Structure 1
Amino acid sequence: MHVPDGFINAPVSAAAGVVAAGAVAVSLRGARRELDERTAPLAGLVAAFIFAVQMLNFPVAAGTSGHLLGGALAAILVGPYTGVLCVSVVLLMQGVLFADGGLTALGVNITDMAITTTVVAYLVFRGLVKVLPRGRRSITAASFVAAVLSVPAAAVVFTLIYAIGGTTDVSIGKVATAMIGVHVLIGIGEAAITALTVGAVVAVRPDLVHGARGLTQPLKLKVGGELVDVPAAAPAPVAARSHRKIWITGLITSLVLAGFVSFYASANPDGLEKVAHDKGIDQKAKEHASADSPLADYGVKDVTDARLSGGLAGIIGVGVTVVAGSGIFWALRRRRTGDAASTEVTARESV
């Protein structure tokens, strides 16, 4: 659903850029509260994993494909504020390095693919876990439903943006019907990927899943004929439960997906591309400013073998994304630690 340059006029693109910048600023502050010793190293990995899986277009209908948007997955794994930043980092890397998503449309893409999907998915997820039985299966089920709904929600937001600032005169009703219809199908694929990933992490390290915190059912003992809660054991020190193994596993998985599996992805246009072509909203699309980038269209310039070119581009993309994302999230984590230390010193001095 990457919106290219020329789909949305300049004033609305600028307004979306302001909305995106404001949301990113709020998310930077919010992420400082979400990130800790467990999640800070993994947030960059989540961004890299989303980048890798977005290369895996899957067929959804005749001549149409879809790919992961990632907002639901990021929000559930590392929190909604950090999730917005994860997807935004991916979109920035894709736009600048791979000519995927217009640079003038970056604000539109962040508003649509990062903010909308993350907020909708997390609200649905939190609502479901409050009413479902507490446990791992409920986390997985809630992840599935949240992801399903987040994708057509993004299609609705794109349609609204296009209704306000679209550069061609087309029937918005027909665009809405086509966009929502195809993205409901894409949402099923998104949900399957999200639920499988969240379920896999919850199964081995539920303490690393933001959305699973505090949802374990307390143990019960029968005392005097009545069930009483067993006192919770003290949590293991963070250092005693290293996240290194899952980090390495996640990074290798991302590299394999982007460097090898991506070659077998569907070559059909994604939902937005298909609707844009069929309904004529791509008539004023512009060539990407980074069209001559060495990595444009997910291939390495001057590498003639298609499999090797795409694989190298995917590996480079994962590497750049994990480095950029990890740098941002570590900086936020250090800022939080520094603020906490300053607050403690001030409190001591005032005593």
Structure 2
Amino acid sequence: MHVPDGFINAPTSAVTGVVAAGAIAVSLRGARRELDDRTAPLAGLVAAFIFAVQMLNFPVAAGTSGHLLGGALAAILVGPFTGILCVSVVLLMQGILFADGGLTALGVNITDMAIVTTVVSYAVFRGLVKVLPRGRRSLTAASFVAALLSVPAAAVAFTLIYWTGGTTDVAIGKVAGAMIGVHVLIGVGEAAITALTVGAVVAVRPDLVHGARDLRPTLRLRVNGELVDAPAGAAPVAVRASRRTLWVTGLVTSLVLAGFVSFYASANPDGLEKVAADHGIDKRTEKHAASDSPLADYGVKDVTDARLSGGLAGVIGVGTTVVAGSTVFWAVRRRRTRDVSPVSTSGV
């Protein structure tokens, strides 16, 4: 659902840019409360995993494909504020390096694919978790429903943005019907990927999953004859080692998906591209500012073998995203550490 340059006029793009910038600023502050020494590395990995899986377009209807948006997955794994940052990092990497999603439309894409999907999915997820029986199966089911609803919600958001600032004269009812219809189908794929991923991580490390915090048993220690809650992050050495194993496994999985499996992804246009072509929304599409990038269109320039070119581009994308994401999240974590550091009281 990456919106290219030219779909939305300049004033509306500017407004969504302000909305996106404001949401990122709020998310940077909110992420300080969500991230700690255990989860900050996971957040960078989540961004890289979303990048990798977004390369795997899957068929959903005749001549149409879909791909993961990732807002629900990120929000449930690392928290809604950090989730917005994760998807935003992915969109930034895709726009700058791979000419995927217009640079003037970056605000539109962050608003639609990062903010809307994350906010809607996490609200649905938390609501379901509160009413469903407490357990891992309920968590997985809530993840499925939340992800399923987040995709048509993004389609509705795009329709409203297009209604406000679309550059072609197309009946908004036709746009809405086509966008919502195809993205309900794409939502099923999003839901399956999200539920499977969340379920897999919860099965091995529920303590690292933000959405599973209600399932975590409280570790209590006896201090001076009284039971007190253990500090956050307290864990045996063996558990900490498995966290590193999880990170390495996730990174290797992302590299394999982007570097190898992506070659077998559907070549059909995604939901937005198909609707745009069918209804004339793409008449004023503009050339991407990064169209001459060595990695444009997810291929390495001057590498003639398509499989090798796409695989190298995917690996570079995963590596760049995990570095960029990890840098952002470690910086946020360090800022939190400084904010909560005890103030010296000497001399008082």
TM category (shorter chain) comes to over 0.9
Aligned partner of 1:272 in structure 2 is 272
Q: What letter is aligned with 1:49?
A: F
Aligned partner of 2:188 in structure 1 is 188
Matched, 1:237 2:234: yes
- Once superposed, which parts of structure 1, at least 4 consecutive aligned residues long, lie more than 3 Å away? 231-236, 348-351
Q: Any residues of structure 2 matched to 1:236-255 within 5 Å, and which?
A: 237-238=234-235, 240=237, 241-242=239-240, 243-255=243-255
Name the Cα RMSD after superposition: 1.6
Aligned partner of 1:306 in structure 2 is 306
- Residues 239 and 337 of structure 1: CA distance in aligned 2, closer, same or farther (over 3 Å): farther
| Contact 1:28–1:81, Cα closer than 8 Å, also in 2 | yes
Q: CA deviation at 1:109?
A: 0.1
Partner of 2:215, secondary structure, is coil
Q: CA deviation at 1:38?
A: 1.2
Partner of 1:262, secondary structure, is helix
Residue by residue over 1:7-27, the C-alpha shift from the partner in whole angstroms, topping out at 9 and shown as x without a partner, is 000000000000000000000
Q: What letter is aligned with 1:113?
A: M
Distance in 2 between the 1:238 and 1:177 partners? 51
Partner of 1:88, secondary structure, is helix
The sequence identity of aligned pairs, in percent, is 82
User: Structure 1, unaligned stretches of length 5 or more?
Assistant: 219-230
Residue by residue over 1:288-333, the C-alpha shift from the partner in whole angstroms, topping out at 9 and shown as x without a partner, is 0100100000000000000000000000000000000000000110
Q: Any residues of structure 2 matched to 1:290-305 within 5 Å, and which?
A: 290-305=290-305
Distance in 2 between the 1:350 and 1:29 partners? 32
Q: What letter is aligned with 2:88?
A: S
Aligned partner of 2:62 in structure 1 is 62
Q: CA deviation at 1:72?
A: 0.1
Q: CA deviation at 1:37?
A: 1.3
- Residues 171 and 350 of structure 1: CA distance in aligned 2, closer, same or farther (over 3 Å): farther
Q: What letter is aligned with 1:27?
A: S
Count residues with an aligned counterpart. 336
| Contact 1:103–1:288, Cα closer than 8 Å, also in 2 | yes
Q: Any residues of structure 2 matched to 1:77-226 within 5 Å, and which?
A: 77-215=77-215
Distance in 2 between the 1:20 and 1:233 partners? 38
| Contact 1:134–1:216, Cα closer than 8 Å, also in 2 | no
- Residues 187 and 262 of structure 1: CA distance in aligned 2, closer, same or farther (over 3 Å): same
| Contact 2:206–2:216, Cα closer than 8 Å, also in 1 | no
Distance in 2 between the 1:208 and 1:47 partners? 15
Partner of 2:60, secondary structure, is strand
Q: What letter is aligned with 2:31?
A: A
Matched, 1:288 2:288: yes
Q: What letter is aligned with 1:237?
A: A
- Residues 349 and 145 of structure 1: CA distance in aligned 2, closer, same or farther (over 3 Å): farther
Q: What's the TM-score, normalizing by structure 1?
A: 0.93
| Contact 1:34–1:78, Cα closer than 8 Å, also in 2 | yes
Partner of 1:65, secondary structure, is strand
Aligned partner of 1:221 in structure 2 is none
Residue by residue over 1:168-224, the C-alpha shift from the partner in whole angstroms, topping out at 9 and shown as x without a partner, is 000100000000000000000000000000000000000010000023589xxxxxx
Distance in 2 between the 1:215 and 1:148 partners? 23
Aligned partner of 2:23 in structure 1 is 23
Partner of 1:293, secondary structure, is coil
User: Structure 2, unaligned stretches of length 5 or more?
Assistant: 219-226
| Contact 1:57–1:65, Cα closer than 8 Å, also in 2 | yes
Distance in 1 between the 2:276 and 2:29 partners? 36
Distance in 1 between the 2:235 and 2:323 partners? 23
Residue by residue over 1:46-103, the C-alpha shift from the partner in whole angstroms, topping out at 9 and shown as x without a partner, is 0000000000000000000000000000000000000000000000000000000000
| Contact 2:42–2:247, Cα closer than 8 Å, also in 1 | yes
Q: CA deviation at 1:234?
A: 5.5
| Contact 1:155–1:180, Cα closer than 8 Å, also in 2 | yes
Partner of 1:36, secondary structure, is coil
Distance in 2 between the 1:29 and 1:234 partners? 25
Distance in 2 between the 1:177 and 1:98 partners? 30
Aligned partner of 1:330 in structure 2 is 330
| Contact 1:135–1:216, Cα closer than 8 Å, also in 2 | no
Residue by residue over 1:201-259, the C-alpha shift from the partner in whole angstroms, topping out at 9 and shown as x without a partner, is 000000010000023589xxxxxxxxxxxx99968734622211000000000000000
Q: What's the TM-score, normalizing by structure 2?
A: 0.94
